[in-house]
Amino acid sequence: MSTEHWRPSSTHWGAFRAATDADGTLRVQPHPADPAPSPLLGNLAGTVRHRTRVRRPAIRRGWLTGGPGPTGARGDEEFVEVGWDTALDLVAEQLERTRREHGNEAIFGGSYGWASAGRFHHAQSQLHRFHNTIGGYTASRNNYSFGTSQVLLPHVIGSTDALLQHADSWATIQEHTDLVVAFGGLPGKNLSIASGGITRHTGSAALRDLGTDLVAISPLADDVPAGPGADWWPIAPGTDVALQLGLAHTLLTTGRHDQDFLDRCCTGSEVFAGYLLGDADGIAKSAEWAAGICGIDATAIRALADRMAAGRTLITVSWSLQRTEHGEQPVWAGLALAAMLGQIGLPGGGFGHGYGSMADIGDDAPAVRPPTLPLGRNPVRAFIPVARIADLLLNPGQQYDYDGQRLTYPDIRLVHWAGGNPFHHHQDLNRLRRAFGRPDTVVVHETHWTATARHADVVFPATTALEREDVGAGRRDSHLIAMHQVLDPVGEARDDYAVLAGLAQRLGTHQEFTEGRSAREWLVHLYEQWRAGLVAQGHDVPPFAEFWAAGDLRMPDVRHRAPLAALRSDPERNPLPTPSGRIELFSATIDSFGYPDCPGHPVWLPARQRRGGPLHLIANQPPTRLHGQGDVGEVSQRAKVAGREPIRIHPRDAAAREISDGDVVRVFNHLGACLAGARVSEDVRPGVVVLPTGAWFDPQPDPARPGETLCAHGNPNVLTADVPSSRLSQGCAGQHAHVEVERHLGPVPALRCSAPPPLADS
């Protein structure tokens, strides 16, 4: 194989070059500029040609013969493979009928999900652009990643960007910071990933040798990077706010808070101080009080407060902490604690959100917005906060609260999804199955036979990024990658763009959707527009042909001033876009909503959902893949235990249940059950079990319990409750659940998810 056959491409976990061997095997080499390439590249070869690829358009038998309508059969029926024209005609007809009979609001096109890297073929962008040409759709707002912070932070610091786009770089931290206090730890596994791609994994490289002291607070030792200055504080899950308040109370009562910073740059510090002292509820939020809740010794809490005040300290809160009930609180209380230390806006000090969650937080690459497909305008006003999908489908007409508004769920008749997997990302999957029984029609574009594809009526086979051309870059990336086509499309798979152009043709909006451009012409168009903008700002960017031939380009060095540093330097001249112009430790706006589950300042609120069992389950991001993507690949498969997703359990909890390492176990609660493979380990706090997300959902009859079903593979979302973080944000709270674990007796069922569903020829 000669190197001239190596073609550049990209994924959310890194840029690379790929070539195929004589026997068709895919070979992958990380981008030469990447100092710490992601191990997840190892999943690609086994995934792109896996037998679970969708090869032809497929229609659920009952929908094809019986027509559209609510049904309990989705997910349980065989599919009939049909030609492209048949599938496109039938879907166009239902889009037309739905908008005529029920209005465009009856089409749900939110279509949340990560899809693939590549700016033009980005599946959601394509889908939204298409629907905007035919009159719009009910949309979804915010994300599963930090959707709670997306609603909270604009109230308290004016934007999410102030923390996410303007985070200090790892290099700045290494230079200036004495102590990092990381709530949620700094899990190296997460630093593979950045939405849209990442060429240089500078965070992964920095974590190899952080060079500062670190207190990593997490129930799981994996979240603590190796290194001499790192301490593991195995906190009880869901109790970080108590620890934060205990630290804040200690600073306040020992006079080490920075009153000058609080007066100059914050509002509401006196309300927060009153709460810490227990003015209204009579409870001082002291180190002793905190110790009783979070399981960390009061002396250690006071000593940590000392250390924090003694030098340059960065307090950071992982996104996982806000993906819980009352998920606003650890973010807001963490910010308030940092405000009391008074180092917000100093290099390497203050508050961070998502170091250890995503590779682009702390990356020092320039802040250039990559080329972007224009989406048009959605005339439909109806939307949901993204994690309310099952409520939307199950409860048309029902009212609910969101960020000070009273919203009503529209009546959805047609669901159209491309580039996402709600049967991966949503909670209480047994409930989601019922919800997916409600619409008349479910249309899914997928590369693979995921659980969502299996719950559809019509499945369009989509190409992967390796089977098409694109340009790729993350939100903060050192390079723009010319993504060349590496492989021929599998079977009859088409690009989402081609599929939607086919629907647009049938609905009379082909010209508006395509603007007469081929996919390649779009790449040139989007690139040249982007280039013109940068050239106008004085940057030197090569024309498309040159960029394409080179395989990538270095992003021009665009930098913006961080709003929190600006605030610190002069709060009068550089106010934040909050009502007060300051950091709001008390928000009159949030207070005015009157939500008991998110009052006007940070508070300790225990989770309501405690049902389900004695063990606290953490369903975190998987170390071996991106969500469900690549679960059939080599890296993901190698980690499985007896073919099941590994669940970590402490030796004490395992012994009490006569569970040994390598056993297949049943994990269950009042919502559902799944099988998993036991990994007995001291790396997890006693009383806590960790089962990452992303094992492909495989609902089957429970072999040991007639009439009951379980996920035979280990998807934790059969166990998580479908409850929001709060009425303020309605964010995803899927990180935690309560469960029991037992040895699985009886036969271990074969997995069905690793082969396509039953397919018939038309």
Ligand X SMILES: Nc1nc2c(c(=O)[nH]1)N[C@H]1C(S)=C(S)[C@@H](COP(=O)(O)OP(=O)(O)OC[C@H]3O[C@@H](n4cnc5c(=O)[nH]c(N)nc54)[C@H](O)[C@@H]3O)O[C@H]1N2
Residues forming the site for ligand X (CB under 6 A): 113-116, 121, 123, 144-145, 183-185, 187, 189-190, 192-193, 217-220, 223, 235, 237-238, 240, 318-321, 323, 357-358, 418-421, 424-425, 445-448, 450, 462, 496, 618-623, 626-629, 693, 716-717, 720, 732, 734-735
Cα angle at 596 between 592 and 602, to 5 degrees? 80
Name the residue nearer to ligand X (CB basis): 365 or 553: 365
Cα–Cα distance between 71 and 437 in angstroms, integer?
5
Residue 218 binding target from ligand X, Mo ion, none, CB below 5 to 8 Å by type: ligand X
Residue carrying the six token digits 């929001």: 724
Residue 461 binding target from Mo ion, ligand X, none, CB below 5 to 8 Å by type: none
Name the residue nearer to ligand X (CB basis): 130 or 144: 144
Residue 446 binding target from Mo ion, ligand X, none, CB below 5 to 8 Å by type: ligand X
Task: Please report how close the Cβ of residue 740 comes to ligand X at its closest, in angstroms.
Answer: 18
Name the residue nearer to Mo ion (CB basis): 145 or 343: 145
Q: Which of 222, 187, 192, 191 has its CA nearest to residue 42?
A: 192
CA distances from 407 to 137, 327, 652, 732 (A): 16, 21, 47, 18
Task: Please report how close the Cβ of residue 742 comes to Mo ion at its closest, in angstroms.
Answer: 31
Helix (H) or strand (E) holding 252, with range, is helix 240-253
Name the residue nearer to ligand X (CB basis): 196 or 551: 196
640: CB partners within 8 A, 6+ apart: 646, 677
Task: Please report how close the Cβ of residue 145 comes to Mo ion at its closest, in angstroms.
Answer: 3
Q: Across the strands, what pairs with 416?
A: 443
Task: Please report how close the Cβ of residue 363 comes to Mo ion at its closest, in angstroms.
Answer: 17
Task: Please report how close the Cβ of residue 284 comes to ligand X at its closest, in angstroms.
Answer: 23
Catalytic residue, chosen from 114, 233, 275, 530, is 114
Is 112 catalytic? The answer is yes
Task: Please report how close the Cβ of residue 700 comes to ligand X at its closest, in angstroms.
Answer: 20
Cα–Cα distance between 743 and 363 in angstroms, integer?
44
DSSP 492: T
Task: Please report how close the Cβ of residue 282 comes to Mo ion at its closest, in angstroms.
Answer: 40
Name the residue nearer to ligand X (CB basis): 28 or 262: 28
Name the residue nearer to ligand X (CB basis): 81 or 222: 222
Task: Please report how close the Cβ of residue 113 comes to ligand X at its closest, in angstroms.
Answer: 3
Name the residue nearer to Mo ion (CB basis): 8 or 203: 203
469: CB partners within 8 A, 6+ apart: 483, 484, 485, 519, 520, 523
Q: Which of 485, 484, 471, 486 has its CA nearest to residue 555?
A: 471
Q: Which chain residues interact with Mo ion by CB under 5 A?
A: 145
Cα–Cα distance between 601 and 699 in angstroms, integer?
42
Is 6 catalytic? The answer is no
Question: For residues 122 and 419, is the Cβ–Cβ distance under 8 A?
Answer: yes
Cα–Cα distance between 641 and 736 in angstroms, integer?
22
- Helices 240-253 and 328-341: crossing angle, nearest 10°? 20
Name the residue nearer to Mo ion (CB basis): 426 or 601: 426
What is the three-class DSSP state of 330? Answer: helix
Task: Please report how close the Cβ of residue 605 comes to ligand X at its closest, in angstroms.
Answer: 13
What is the three-class DSSP state of 548? Answer: helix
Cα–Cα distance between 510 and 501 in angstroms, integer?
6
Tokens representing 239 are 């109790």
Task: Please report how close the Cβ of residue 165 comes to Mo ion at its closest, in angstroms.
Answer: 16
Cα–Cα distance between 710 and 666 in angstroms, integer?
9
Name the residue nearer to Mo ion (CB basis): 125 or 145: 145
Identity of the amino acid at 573: R
Task: Please report how close the Cβ of residue 427 comes to ligand X at its closest, in angstroms.
Answer: 6
Q: Which of 519, 623, 503, 548 has its CA nearest to residue 130?
A: 503
Identity of the amino acid at 192: S
CA distances from 631 to 169, 470, 637, 677 (A): 32, 24, 7, 15
Task: Please report how close the Cβ of residue 502 comes to ligand X at its closest, in angstroms.
Answer: 14
Catalytic residue, chosen from 6, 13, 112, 696, is 112
Name the residue nearer to ligand X (CB basis): 547 or 696: 696
Name the residue nearer to ligand X (CB basis): 252 or 632: 632
Residue 316 binding target from ligand X, Mo ion, none, CB below 5 to 8 Å by type: none
What is the three-class DSSP state of 655? Answer: helix
- How far does CA 587 lie from the centroid of its chain? 27
- Helices 269-277 and 328-341: crossing angle, nearest 10°? 100
Residue 623 binding target from Mo ion, ligand X, none, CB below 5 to 8 Å by type: ligand X
Question: For residues 726 and 148, is the Cβ–Cβ distance under 8 A?
Answer: yes
E-strand stretches of 35-189:
58-60, 79-81, 107-108, 139-141, 179-183
CA distances from 561 to 259, 284, 365 (A): 25, 39, 14
Question: For residues 23 and 1, is the Cβ–Cβ distance under 8 A?
Answer: no
Cα angle at 603 between 736 and 236, to 5 degrees? 35
Residue 308 binding target from Mo ion, ligand X, none, CB below 5 to 8 Å by type: none
Question: For residues 118 and 9, is the Cβ–Cβ distance under 8 A?
Answer: no
Residue 629 binding target from ligand X, Mo ion, none, CB below 5 to 8 Å by type: ligand X
Name the residue nearer to ligand X (CB basis): 165 or 253: 165
Sign of the alpha-carbon dihedral angle for 64, 70, 71, 74 = positive
Sign of the alpha-carbon dihedral angle for 572, 574, 576, 582 = negative
707: CB partners within 8 A, 6+ apart: none
Question: Could you give the residue numbers annotated as active site?
Answer: 112, 114
